[in-house]
Amino acid sequence: MNTRIYLVRHAEAQGNVNRTFQGHSDCPVTERGMRQLDCLAERFRTVRFDALYSSPLLRARQTAEEVNRYHGLELQIDPGLIEINGGELEGMHWNEIPERFPQQQHDWDVAPQNYCAPGGDRMIDVYERITAAIDRIVRANSGKIIAVVSHGCAIRNYLCFANGWGIEQLRNIMWEENTAVSCIDYDEDFRPHIVYQSDAGHLPDELRTLARQSWWKTTITEEATK
């Protein structure tokens, strides 16, 4: 029997609205984020899963609790699911970064595989951490269905891996809406096979976060939008 993961991005938090580098900053979801979570909970109402994991950050734990609204499973925290550590960029508005850290902004936009946050994570750290964490979770739950809640940058790295790509193709992965869900099956050798990717069909247009923003359009390839 194959193993399946539903990989979920957390609901909208304040940094998503204020356009600050959230990273490890531990902030709760917004009012609109809570409404997103109502939609997410309904999406998972009739979806069976056997185990539930989350990043330790509050916005992810709040999201996991709502995935679990109708299921009552134990929430397991895995530090490997945490978001990128922004180091000196934590809490900084994205409009400030190009002037103060031009190389980091350039790499984030056009060469994310080379990105290194001053005093924080390299992008390769995130790629390796999230792939190791999910591999560990899958192997510990072989043959089961698992819900996993993580973060935008971390999930983007994992989807790059799950597509069979090295980190040098990270820019080919689309950014996700808050509460977007990806479904991934794993064969008997624990190799990932994507069933669907970054689906936010449970959200009405007025609750979508990226629909109100345009920054992400400069950080992906044209191919990623197709």
- Known binding-site residues equal 9-16, 59
In the annotation, is 10 catalytic? yes
Alpha carbon distances (Å) from 198 to 70, 85, 183: 22, 23, 8
The catalytic residue among 24, 31, 71, 83 is 83
- Contact between residue 81 and residue 153 where contact means Cβ atoms under 8 Å apart: no
Tell me, yes or no, if 177 is annotated catalytic: no
CA 161 from centre of chain:
13
Residues tagged in the binding site annotation for substrate: 9-16, 59
Q: How far apart are CA 122 and CA 107, in angstroms?
A: 11
Place of tokens 């600050």: 20
| Given the residues 10, 24, 151, 202, the one annotated as active site | 10
Q: Which is it for strands 181-186 and 192-199: parallel, antiparallel or unpaired? A: antiparallel
Q: Which residues belong to the active site?
A: 10, 83
